[in-house]
Amino acid sequence: MERKWRDQIYQEFARIGKCLSSPKRLELIDILAQGPKSVEQLANMTGMSLANVSQHLQTLLESKLVRFHKKGNYVIYEIAERSVADFMVSLHRLSEKQLLEIQRLKTEILQYHKSMEPISLEELMSRMDRGDVMLLDVRPQDEYEVGHIPGAISVPIDELEKYLATLPMNVEVVAYCRGPYCFMSAQAVEIMQSKGIKASRLVEGVHEWKHYAEHTRREVVLRDEA
Render each residue's pLDDT in the chain as its tens digit; 226 residues: 778 888 898 998 999 999 999 999 999 999 999 999 999 999 999 999 999 999 999 999 999 999 999 999 999 999 999 999 999 999 999 999 999 998 888 788 777 766 567 888 889 988 888 888 999 999 999 999 999 999 999 999 999 999 988 887 788 899 999 998 888 999 999 999 988 889 999 989 999 998 888 877 654 443 444 4
Topology adopted by domain 2-84: Arc Repressor Mutant, subunit A (1.10.10)
Domain with CATH 1.10.10.10 in the chain: 2-84
Cα dihedral sign for 116, 120, 121, 122? negative
CATH 3.40.250.10 domain locations along the chain: 108-213
Structure confidence at residue 217 (pLDDT): 63
**pLDDT at residue 39, as a whole number:** 97
Q: Which amino acid is at 3?
A: R
**CATH of the domain spanning 108-213, picked from 3.40.50.300, 3.50.50.60, 3.40.640.10, 3.40.250.10:** 3.40.250.10
- Give the pLDDT confidence score for residue 67 in this predicted structure: 98
The CB-based long-range contact list for 42-47 (8 Å cut-off, 24+ gap) reads: 42/77
Give the per-residue pLDDT at 38. 97
* Residues annotated as part of the active site: 177
pLDDT of residue 111: 73
Alpha helices in the chain (DSSP H): 2-19, 23-32, 39-46, 50-62, 82-98, 100-112, 121-130, 141-146, 160-164, 184-194, 206-225
**52-87 as b/e: b if 16+ CB within 10 A:** ebeebbebbeebebbebeeeeeeebbbbeeeebbeb
pLDDT for the residue 98: 93
Q: CA angle at residue 82 from 77 to 85, to 5 degrees?
A: 80
Give dist(CA 189, CA 195) in Å, integer.
10
Q: What is the pLDDT of residue 171?
A: 82
pLDDT for position 116: 67
Q: What is the pLDDT of residue 220?
A: 40
CB 67 within 8 A of CB 61: yes
